[in-house]
């Protein structure tokens, strides 16, 4: 298990890491050339994801264990006076965890979400309401019927908007400054930029998704923390 400074090795077997094609740098630093580079590198990273469900599950174990430990610590920590005031009672409000519905070989965090609900927390899924706009997070319960959202990804069938305190974000790629390479829609960056207060963000990926740089642009927002099957990156670790 990693220490808080992000220096620990989460010890997934190195032999399971997949080879990823590393592209040459963009032709220039222009937004168009960076966008072209990102598109090609994104395709290579997705192609290299583990396709065997058993392998993916095995390699996800240290990531899910780290996430579970962090969520337990956050739930156990004293809540701020503002959080108590927002609940209107002396009892702190439930911790709202934003997750995602896995597709294209992403790490499956739904079991972690079940455990968070059992511990008294709230879970939410991202829903695209309007293209090129911030997303909403709708409360998810295992018994709630699902509907099909953008890209045919399941979303809660009932709209109950909540604001995540902690947001688990899938990474296509990442760098050691904790910038992420996503799917190119910009939805998470728009949402984080518009969020007040901003949720604590934890990006997750397998270790081979690390890049020397993602060529971050002015609108890109780094993750607060990144957890892989090999290590955990935090601001302290990036220094």
One pLDDT digit (tens) per residue for the chain, 239 residues: 333 344 455 555 545 566 788 899 999 999 999 999 999 999 999 999 999 999 999 999 999 999 999 999 999 988 666 655 555 656 779 999 999 999 999 999 999 999 999 999 999 999 999 988 999 999 999 999 999 998 899 999 999 999 999 999 999 999 999 999 999 999 999 999 999 999 999 999 999 999 999 999 999 999 999 999 999 999 875 55
- Global pTM reads 0.87
Q: Domains of the chain, with CATH numbers?
A: 14-77+94-238 (3.40.50.10420)
Residue 158 burial (CB count, 10 A)? 13
* Beta carbons of 137 and 173 less than 8 angstroms apart: no
Residue 173 burial (CB count, 10 A)? 22
* Main-chain phi, psi angles of 95, to 5 degrees: -75, 125
Q: Distance between CA atoms of 239 and 234, rounded to whole angstroms?
A: 9
**pLDDT, position 150:** 85
Nearest to 228 by CA among 199, 213, 208, 201: 208
**Sign of the dihedral through C-alpha 208, 109, 4, 183:** positive
**pLDDT, position 90:** 62
């Amino acid at each position: 298990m990693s220490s808080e400074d992000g220096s620990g090795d989460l010890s997934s077997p190195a032999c399971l890491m997949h080879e990823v094609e590393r592209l040459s740098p963009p032709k220039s630093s222009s937004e168009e050339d960076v966008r072209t580079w990102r598109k090609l590198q994104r395709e290579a990273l997705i192609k290299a994801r583990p396709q065997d469900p058993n392998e993916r599950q095995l390699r996800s174990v240290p990531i899910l264990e780290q996430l579970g430990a962090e969520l337990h610590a956050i739930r156990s920590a004293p809540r701020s006076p503002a959080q108590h005031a927002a609940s209107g009672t002396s009892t702190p409000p439930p911790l709202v965890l934003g997750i995602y519905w896995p597709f294209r070989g992403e790490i499956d965090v739904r079991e972690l979400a079940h455990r968070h609900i059992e511990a008294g927390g709230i879970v939410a899924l991202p829903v695209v309401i309007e293209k090129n706009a911030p997303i909403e997070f709708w409360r998810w319960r295992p018994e709630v019927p699902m509907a099909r959202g953008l890209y045919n990804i399941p979303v809660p069938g009932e709209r109950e908007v909540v604001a995540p305190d902690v947001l688990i974000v899938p990474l296509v790629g990442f760098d050691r400054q904790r910038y992420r390479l996503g799917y190119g829609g910009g939805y998470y960056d728009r949402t984080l930029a518009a969020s007040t207060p901003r949720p604590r963000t934890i990006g997750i990926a397998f270790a081979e998704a690390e890049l020397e740089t993602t060529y971050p642009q002015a609108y890109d927002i780094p993750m607060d923390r990144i957890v892989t099957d090999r290590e955990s990156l935090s601001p302290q670790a990036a220094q």
